Amino acid sequence: MLVSILVFLLVLSILVIVHEFGHFITAVKLGIPVLEFGFGLPPRIWGKKIGNTLFSLNALPFGGFVRLLGENEEEEGDKSQQFINKPKRIRIAVIVAGVVMNFLLAILAFAIVYSFSGIPKDTHKLKIVDVSAGSPAQVAGVIVGDVISKVGKDNVDSVDYFISKVNDQKGKTTNFEIVRNDNIVKLQMKPRENPPAGEGALGVTITTTEIYFAPVWQRPFIGIYYGFKEAVFWGKTILMGLWTMVYGLFQGQVPKGVSGPVGIFAVTSEAAKNGVLTLINFIGILSVNLAILNILPFPALDGGRLLFIFIEMLMGRKVLPKVEAITHTIGMIILLTLLVAITFHDVVGLIRAGSIAGFLNSMQK
């Protein structure tokens, strides 16, 4: 449990520090003093000032922040350096930088995984990876490593097409053409009409995917390419999940599978058990998730701050700083309230499940 907690805090630290560093470095480069770089949410436990910035450790280890000079209203000092007085393009750049850094972290995480575990490629060849005992395939002499090229007189090059052709032949003795060690082997099998649970009509597990390992010098570049595609894939998946949840709320449906820090802790623990690459892959998924959640147009989030800049563009003048500050404060209170409620729900679920594995199983139902 202690190791799981340490791993969880490490993962959380990486995500938060990378996100806030994006805000921090962009603000500094664009001439905006950073008053505080905080990990966690107040109250403050510890702090050390380096240059003009106070680096702080706070009591609630869920999130982080950078406090910029003149972030919400004008303060003492050079007014031209204050965030609130900077041009819109500079303010947008500082706000978006955190999201960009999380997306880049996700690409890096996925690139590392692909570089070490290989690139999955569709070969369009139906390779047998498992044969069930007593199945028609085993009786006919099918072995792991065989490639099915024909069902009857039809060539097959995809899993879905293969399954449909086999289902068409249920209960009928059918000719199959197998490629084995570059030789053609012809076998006859009778697909079952009522196969056992978890088995198909033939009792084989097939795949068209194989793992490709590029030359070592190419792996970082190929890894980044596929890492970007993976990050985009997860971004679309998360957005679709959010849309489904919001749509369900308007239909009066209670969201299912929503979890907070306890849920993340549970999944992180299980990911760590499966090895470093699995954990790194999970960091990538979490980083995309954090990027998307932060860009949502809700007060206190990066997206909420962007929303006020867009309102400023439409109105032709700034929203009153006090109004914006109060709005973000209310948003933060709502978010913290939701966080506490979700955490309480997760803790109760964890206690009832009796174990992390049981808790994860209950989440998936």
Q: How crowded is residue 280: how many other Cβ atoms within 10 Å of its Cβ?
A: 18
Is the sign of the CA dihedral 90, 95, 98, 99 positive or negative? Answer: negative
In one-letter notation, the amino acid at residue 356 is I
The region that residue 37 occupies, defined by phi over 0 for left and psi between -120 and 50 for alpha, beta otherwise, is: beta
Tokens of 254: 């209670």
Q: One of 20, 71, 230, 324 is an active-site residue; which one?
A: 20
Tokens 């059918």 identify what position?
174
349 to each of 253, 287, 345, 352, how far by Cα in Å?
A: 20, 25, 6, 5
Strand partners, 67: 36
- Rounded CA separation 358/365 (Å): 11
Structure tokens belonging to residue 323: 């109004």
Active site residue 76: no
* Sign of the C-alpha dihedral computed for residues 15, 16, 22 and 25 taken in this order: negative
Backbone angles phi, psi at 176, to 5 degrees: -125, 140
The per-residue DSSP string of 110-157 comes to: HHHHHHHH-EEEEEEEEEEEEE-TTSHHHHHT--TT-EEEEETTEE--
- What the block records as the tokens of 126 is 């139906």
Helix, strand, coil content of the chain in percent (nearest 5): 55, 20, 25
CA 82 to chain centre: 35
C-alpha 125 chain-centroid distance = 30
The catalytic residues are 20
